Amino acid sequence: MATRTARRTVGLFVLSTLLLLLSGIFYWQAIGADISNPHANFWRVVREGFPGFTKVSTAGHKVLIVNSGENWREIRNGILVRFSQLIIIAALVVMSLFYKFVGPDKLEKPRSGVLIERYTLGERVLHWYTAVLFVIMAITGLSLLLGRILLIPIFGHWVDSAYLQASKVLHNYCGPLLLIGILLEFVIWVRYNIPRKIDLAWFKTMGGMLGKGPRPHTGKVNAGEKGWFWLILIFGIAVGVTGIVLDFPIWGQTRSTMQLSHVIHATVAVLFVTVSFGHIYMGTVGIEGVFEGMCTGFVDAVWAQQHYDLWYEEKMHEKGERTEASS
């Protein structure tokens, strides 16, 4: 019996302590941090960014001390500046290692000379429009982020300032044009880029580039290209929308909105540029015959059969029907 009473007493004690703690917390929240010193509380509220009144109501003047700027500074100068260099250098190193050890994906058979149309003129114009704007945006954007630590030590303040002035103007005017390009690309190419079951097989050997065995069957667009397509859409919209917020400070967006937008914009943009290296590699030196396809619009039948067998068969089938119909 004695033990039970003792247990009950201990239980009651623990419960009351917890209740006391809880009520203490509620009291703290309801009354404020320090009831004994109203002056300290007054300034504590100011320090937390509570707005006041001002006759000079230029953007953000109502708040006496805006704390978020320090966070933005730490993220931009600390994380973004440091990691953007690391991730880009890492991507370039991986790319050159891949080129050295895996090497370019050459044609397995000699060219047949039979040409198949892969991209229409409109598609090619849109691709290169977006590509050129993307490269401009990447170079100017990275210059604005890293110019101070990379360019000033080499070229000095005056050259850096003149170059970044031009970069800023280019970046601000080309941005919306790139967003339009990306949205148009989505509209004209989305029908080829719906994920299918055969795309899973493609990833096992990365389209026959890694490991041995037969190349996976592929339609007009392979799984890697589909992934890049959807990344362009997601990254493009994230960078584009935040970019527009920064580009048009005329709608009364607050400083915090612009700080947040800038962090999202720069982070996603650095990732976007990093991933784009993969696309540029594959499109130029990585796979033989890709670059000419996007330039001229036509690809060799052998190339089509090697990389996009299902699309090739479909095309041959169409062609056969057409020749039968015309004859």
Closer by beta carbon to another protein, 162 or else 188: 162
Under rule CB under 8 A, residue 152 binds another protein: yes
DSSP labels, 103-130: --B--SS-----EEE-S-HHHHHHHHHH
Of 3, 113, 158, 327, the one binding another protein by CB under 8 A: 158
Of 116, 133, 145, 179, the one binding another protein by CB under 8 A: 145
Under rule CB under 8 A, residue 292 binds another protein: no
- The CA distance from 219 to 304, in Å, is 10
Distances in whole angstroms, Cα of residue 93 to Cα of each of 25, 86, 154, 278: 54, 10, 23, 12
Under rule CB under 8 A, residue 164 binds another protein: yes
Please report, as residue ranges, which positions from 166 to 195 form the binding site for another protein (by CB under 8 A): 168-169, 172-173
Token output for 39: 């002056």
Task: Provide the minimum distance between the beta carbon of 268 and another protein in the complex, in angstroms, as a whole number.
Answer: 18
Task: Provide the minimum distance between the beta carbon of 81 and another protein in the complex, in angstroms, as a whole number.
Answer: 10
Under rule CB under 8 A, residue 248 binds another protein: yes
- Which residues, at least 6 apart from 279, have a Cβ–Cβ distance to it below 8 Å? 228
How many CB atoms within 10 Å of residue 87?
A: 14
Task: Provide the minimum distance between the beta carbon of 87 and another protein in the complex, in angstroms, as a whole number.
Answer: 19
Question: 51 φ, ψ to 5°?
Answer: -75, 150
Question: 298 has which bridge partners?
Answer: 117
Under rule CB under 8 A, residue 103 binds another protein: no
- Closest residue by Cα to residue 59 from 322, 298, 259: 259
Of 105, 160, 199, 300, the one binding another protein by CB under 8 A: 160
Under rule CB under 8 A, residue 250 binds another protein: yes
Closer by beta carbon to another protein, 139 or else 198: 139
Task: Provide the minimum distance between the beta carbon of 72 and another protein in the complex, in angstroms, as a whole number.
Answer: 6
Under rule CB under 8 A, residue 267 binds another protein: no
Rg over CA atoms, the chain = 30
Please report, as residue ranges, which positions from 42 to 71 form the binding site for another protein (by CB under 8 A): 42, 45-46, 50, 52-56, 58-67, 69-70
Of 72, 134, 235, 308, the one binding another protein by CB under 8 A: 72
Under rule CB under 8 A, residue 203 binds another protein: no
- Which residues, at least 6 apart from 153, have a Cβ–Cβ distance to it below 8 Å? none
- The CA distance from 163 to 143, in Å, is 9
In this structure, are strands 115-117 and 298-300 parallel, antiparallel, or unpaired? antiparallel
Under rule CB under 8 A, residue 220 binds another protein: no
Exposure letters 115-136 (e unless 16+ CB within 10 A, then b): bbebbeeeebebbebbbebbeb
Number of residues that bind another protein (CB under 8 A): 51
Choices 142-150, 201-209, 234-242, 305-313 (CB under 8 A): range interacting with another protein: 142-150
Question: 115 φ, ψ to 5°?
Answer: -105, 140
8-state DSSP, 74: I
Under rule CB under 8 A, residue 39 binds another protein: yes
- Where on the chain is the footprint of another protein (CB under 8 A)? 38-39, 42, 45-46, 50, 52-56, 58-67, 69-70, 72-73, 76-77, 144-145, 147-148, 152, 157-158, 160-161, 164-165, 168-169, 172-173, 246-250, 255, 258-259, 262
